[in-house]
Amino acid sequence: MSKEKILTDANFQTEALQSPLPILVDFWAEWCGPCRMLGPVIEKIAAANAGRIIVGKMNVDENPNTPQKYGIQGIPTVIFFKNGEVVKQLVGYQAQDKIQKAIDELFPK
């Protein structure tokens, strides 16, 4: 069972921006090779950080408004939000340790 929250244009405001915990959002698409490579990494990040941060995924093809609002040019893009604000953005495939390092720096235990 996947721990990621599926985000849409319709639920982004309530599920991501109003989240009580910091949230990492993976913007991806089905046809994107690097996105498919990042998928298992995001799952591991979600499992490793359960209760500390929320991990969400948004399909940019099905939900064009939110990626446009945040100026997403390339995918995969991972954006970290805290209190509804963007605190960091990573573009392209990222190794698990790099994403974990960003989480540890942004949201210390």
Find the CATH number of the domain harbouring 20.
3.40.30.10
* Marked catalytic residue, from 5, 15, 32, 96: 32
Share of the chain above pLDDT 90, in %: 95
Q: Which domain holds residue 79?
A: 5-106
Total tally of structural domains belonging to the chain = 1
DSSP assigned state of 66: H
31 belongs to the catalytic site: no
Record the pTM.
0.95
Confidence of residue 1 (pLDDT cuts 50, 70, 90): very low
The enclosing H or E element of 69 equals helix 65-69
Distance CA 70, CA 93 (A): 18
Q: Residue 64 in contact with residue 9, Cβ under 8 Å?
A: yes
33 belongs to the catalytic site: no
Query: Pairing mode, if any, of strands 77-82 and 5-6?
Result: unpaired
* Marked catalytic residue, from 7, 25, 35, 41: 35
Confidence of residue 3 (pLDDT cuts 50, 70, 90): confident
